[in-house]
Chains A and B, each alone.
Chain A
Amino acid sequence: QLQLQESGPRLVKPSETLSLTCIVSGDSISSRGYYWGWIRQPPGKGLEWIGSIYYSGKTYYNPSLKSRVTISLDTSKNQFSLRLSSVTAADTAVYHCARPLQYAYGPFDSWGQGTLVTVSS
C-alpha cells in the first residue's frame, strides 16, 4: 500500500527557502506513468495545488508560484522534494505530498499526513 510521509524543517525565516521531502513507500517513484505532487493548506483556509512532477522528471507548477517553486525527484532514495524560495508569512501552511490518480493536476487519491510549516523570524 502506498504511503507518503513529509519531512523537513517546521520553521522557516522570511526570505529564506522552504525545503520539504516526501518519502515514498509501497511503490517506486520511477514507476512508469505516475505523477507526484505537492498541495498546501494555510491554517483554517482552503487547498492550493503547488505543483507536480512526472516520473520522467517533467514538472508542472502553479502559475502563481512558478517563479519560486522547484520540485525534483531522487530515485535513489525513492523520494521527491519541494523547494519554495523567498517565503513570507503567507506561505505558512500545512504542506502535503500526494499522488494524483490520473493527471499532473489531479485528482489526488493518496496523501501524506501533511506537515505544518511556519514562516516566522
Chain B
Amino acid sequence: DVQMTQSPSTLSASVGDRVTITCRASESVSSYLAWYQQKPGKVPNLLIYEASRSQTGDPSRFSGSGSGTEFTLTISSLQPDDFATYYCQQYNTWGTFGQGTKVEIK
C-alpha cells in the first residue's frame, strides 16, 4: 500500500501568512495527487488535482506543486476562511489519504 504522510499535523498561523503543507508518498504516485480542504461538520472540498491543477480554474491563493513522492500545498496569504483541515490524497494506486493538517489561528 502507498502511505501518505503529511507534515506538520498542526500548523498555527496568522491572517496574511504564507503557509506550506507537505505531503510525502511512500512510493512514486507520479502527479496523481489531490488536495482537499475540510471544515468542521462539512464535506471535503477539492482544491487541487494532478498535483498543481486548480479545481476552481481561477487564479487562487491555493497552489500545489511536486511530483513523484514529495508534494506541497501553499496558501499565499492566509485568510480567515482558510482555517480548516487539509488532506492530500494519492490516486495513482488505489486511493490513499494523508492524515490531515489542521491550520489553526495563531
Taking Cβ atoms with an 8 Å cutoff, the residues of A that contact B are 37, 46-49, 52, 60, 62-64, 96, 100-109, 111-114
Interface magnitude class on chain B = 20 to 34
- Could you tell me if A107 and B89 are in contact, using CB atoms closer than 8 angstroms? yes
Q: Which of B47-105 contact A (CB under 8 A)?
A: 49, 55, 87, 89, 91-100
Chain B binding surface SS class:
loop
Query: Closest residue to A48 on the B side, CB-wise?
Result: B97
- Could you tell me if A106 and B1 are in contact, using CB atoms closer than 8 angstroms? no
Evaluate whether A49 and B96 lie within 8 angstroms (CB atoms) in the complex, with A103-B91, A107-B34, A109-B55 already known: yes
- 14 pairs of residues in contact across A and B, judged by CB atoms under 8 Å: A46-B98, A47-B44, A47-B97, A49-B95, A49-B96, A62-B94, A64-B1, A101-B55, A104-B95, A106-B32, A107-B49, A108-B46, A109-B55, A111-B43
- Could you tell me if B97 and A101 are in contact, using CB atoms closer than 8 angstroms? no
- Could you tell me if A102 and B49 are in contact, using CB atoms closer than 8 angstroms? yes
- Could you tell me if A106 and B91 are in contact, using CB atoms closer than 8 angstroms? yes
Q: List residues of chain A with CB within 8 A of the CB of B34.
A: 106-108
- Could you tell me if B91 and A107 are in contact, using CB atoms closer than 8 angstroms? yes
Contact of A101 among B1, B49, B87, B92 (CB under 8 A): B49
Q: List residues of chain B with CB within 8 A of the CB of A104.
A: 95
